[in-house]
Amino acid sequence: MLMKGIPASEGIELGKAYVLQEEADTDSGFQEYNGKHYELERFFKAIDEAKKQIRELKKKAQEELSEKDAMIFEAHLLILDDPEFLKMVERKIDEGKNVSVAVKESIRFFEEMLLGLNDEYMKERAVDVKDVGIRLIRILSGKSEPDLWNIPEDCVLVAKDLTPSQTAKMRKERIKAIVLEKGGKTSHAVIIARSFGIPLILGVKEATRMIKNGDLLIVDGNIGLVHVNPEKSVLENYRERIIDQYKERMELRDILHLETRTSDGRRIKLFANIGNLEELDIALKNNAEGIGLMRTEILFMNREKPPSEEEQFKFYRTVLERMRGKPVIIRTLDVGGDKIIPYLYAEIGKEENPFLGYRSIRLCLNRKDIFKTQLRALLRASIYGNLKIMFPMISCEEEVLKAKTILEECKEELRKEGISFDRNVKVGIMVETPAAALISDILAKEVDFFSIGTNDLIQYTLAVDRTNESVSYLYNPSHPAILRLIKMTIENAHKNGIEVGVCGEVASDENFVPKLIKLGVDELSVNPSKILVIKKKVLQTKSNEDIINM
C-alpha cells in the first residue's frame, strides 16, 4: 500500500510502525452534574495539577531542547490563566454542565476561533489550546498520558497529530521517522523533527486507521510517500537508497571544515537562515560561517502583546554568544503578508492586498514604540558578538534614512543611560522589491551591505503568487528580468564597496547556485540543513563559467 502526504522534514528511513491512537472521549463517565461548588472545585484542582505538569515539561524542554521550546509551555500556562477561558468554563458550570463538558466545550470554542483566522501561524496555534484541553480532561477523568518514552527502538511514529507536550516527551533517538495525519509546516513537531534529522510527512489521510502496529514502513520524507509493507523489489530499492543517503552524509561530513571556494578559487561565504534556536543548532553542527538571516517574527507570535526589550535582548544575546564572533545578521520585524499578528493589526482590520500593504518596515516606522524596543534590544546585545542589523521590505531611500534615524535615537538613549553597545554596528537592507533593486545605486551609499530576498523579489517582479497553484508555473527564478535585477544590485553594491548576499530559497537550490556565483554574489545564506549540500556545489562550480542567458 502506498500513502501520500506533504514532505516536511527530509530524509528516507525504514522501520516498524508504532501507532499512537487518539484517545476516546476522555470525559465519559463524568457527565453527572454534582452542583456548582463541587464542579468548580474539581475545575480549579485540575488547573493546579495541569500547571504543575506543564512546569515540569517546561523544565524538561529547557534542559533537553532550548529556551524557545520552553516558551511554548509558558504559552500553555497563559491559556490556563486566561480570564476569558476561565469565565467561559465557570459560566457553563453555572448553566448546569459537568466540569468535563464545560472544559471540552470551552476549549473547542477557542480552538475553532483560532482555526477560523486568516493566518496560518495562528491556525496552527490551535494545537496548543487543544493540548491544554486534552491535559485538563485527562486529569479530570483520572487517565494517564500516552507513553512516548518507552516506545520501541527504530520505530516509525504514526499519529493524527503531535501536541507540543507529546513532542517534548517522546524519545527522539528511538524514532526513525514520523507520519502525521494533520499538522502544519511550522508546528513544533516539524521544527523538532528537522532539528534531529528525523524524516516527517504531514497530511497522510487515515494513517492511524490504515497502518497497524508492527507494519513495515518506508518513509520518503523527500517526496512525501509512505510505503506500507512494501514488496521485496521496492524494499530492496529503498534499502540501497538509504545506504546511498548515509554515504552522501558521510561525504558531506568530509567537507565540513573546508573553506568554501569555487573550483577556480573564488571565495564564497556560506551562512545560514534561522528563525529559532533549533535551526541555530543545525547551523552550528554544519559549521555555518555566520547567520545571513535571523528572522525575529517568532518572538512576536503566539502571544497577546509584543515581547519586552529584556526578553528580546536575552534571545539575541544567546544567538550572538553561541555564534562566537561569527557574523549574525538579524532582520528587524517582518510581519504582514502571510504573517499577520492580531495585536499589531487590530486597528487597521483586514487588508485587501496584505502583501502590498501595511507590513515590515512600513509597520515599524509607523509603530515607533515597537521598532525602538527591538532596536534597543539589538544594540544592547551587540556587545556579545558580531551583530549586523537588517531592515526588510525597503522600497525607497526615505525608508532607509528614517530607520537609520530611529536607530541613532536608540543609540543616544542608551548612551545617556550608560548602557554599553557596539557603536559601529553594521546596518544593511533586504533588496526584495523591484524598486529597491532599481535604485540600488542610491541605497548602496546609505548602508553597509545588501541581502537579496529572492522570494518576494520574484513574486513582485513577475506579479505572481507562488502559493496560487493556478499561476505558480509563472514563478521562475531564471526569468531574465530576475537575473537582470540581481546582476544590477550586485554591480551597484560592488561599485560602492559593499557586499551582497542572497537569502531567498534560490540560495538553497543547488541547481541555481552556479548562476548566483556567476552573477557575482559574495555570500549565500541557506537553510541550515542544506549548508553542506550547497558547499559541495560551490566547490564543484567554476565562477567564470558562462551559464546564464539574460
| Residues 148 and 169: beta-carbon distance below 8 Å | yes
- The phi and psi torsions of 109 (rounded to 5 degrees) equal -60, -50
Count CB neighbours of 80 within 10 A.
Answer: 17
Examine the residue annotation and report whether 257 is marked as an active-site residue of this protein: no
Q: What does the DSSP 8-state code read for residue 355?
A: G
Rounded Cα gap, residues 476 and 466, in angstroms: 9
Classified as helix, coil or strand, 201 is strand
Mapped onto helix, strand or coil, the DSSP state of residue 86 is helix
Find the radius of gyration of the CA atoms of the chain.
Answer: 25
Residue 389 forms beta bridges with which residues? Answer: 330, 427
User: What are the cell numbers at 209?
Assistant: 486507521
Contact 435, 457 (CB under 8 A): no
Residue 155 appears among annotated catalytic residues: no
One of 155, 364, 410, 503 is an active-site residue; which one?
A: 503
Residue of 76, 188, 227, 410 with catalytic role: 188
- Sequence-separated (6 or more) residues with CB below 8 Å from residue 473: none
Q: Report the run of H or E that residue 8 belongs to, with start and end.
A: strand 6-9
Please list, in sequence order, all residues whose beta carbon lies within 8 angstroms of the beta carbon of residue 472, skipping any fewer than 6 positions away.
464, 465, 466
Pair 496, 488: CB distance under 8 Å:
no
Which residues have a catalytic role annotated?
A: 188, 503
